Amino acid sequence: MDEGTQFLVTELEHLMSLPLDSKAERDAWYVESKTVQKALRERFANLEYPHDLWHFLADADIRARDPGYRKYQEQMVTDYITKAKSEHQTR
């Protein structure tokens, strides 16, 4: 797995583990997310990944109030992580 993909997988796993139940938790989540977004722009600008991952990084407030959207996004992120790890193991 290349460095950029490894970074993104690690950060997505971390973000998925963070709670979103309170405003303070969502605020903390967004601080973490903004750090990831900045690194993607500055360190891994050429990394290719699904556009929907940007929505995951930006939509914690929506996930907190919409269980269906939360489930959709969490499944999309889990699928990306699984695929990235699977592709790494087959190389």
Owner of token pair 């790890």: 85
Q: What digits encode the pLDDT tens for the residues 73-85?
A: 999 999 999 999 9
Query: Has residue 89 got a pLDDT over 90?
Result: no
Closest CA to 53 of 3, 13, 2: 13
Q: What digits encode the pLDDT tens for the residues 49-60?
A: 999 999 999 999
Which pLDDT belongs to residue 67? 96
Query: Has residue 91 got a pLDDT over 70?
Result: no
Average pLDDT, the chain: 95
Which pLDDT belongs to residue 41? 95
Which pLDDT belongs to residue 58? 96
**In this structure, what is the dihedral angle of CA atoms 76, 81, 86, 91, given to the nearest 10 degrees?**
130
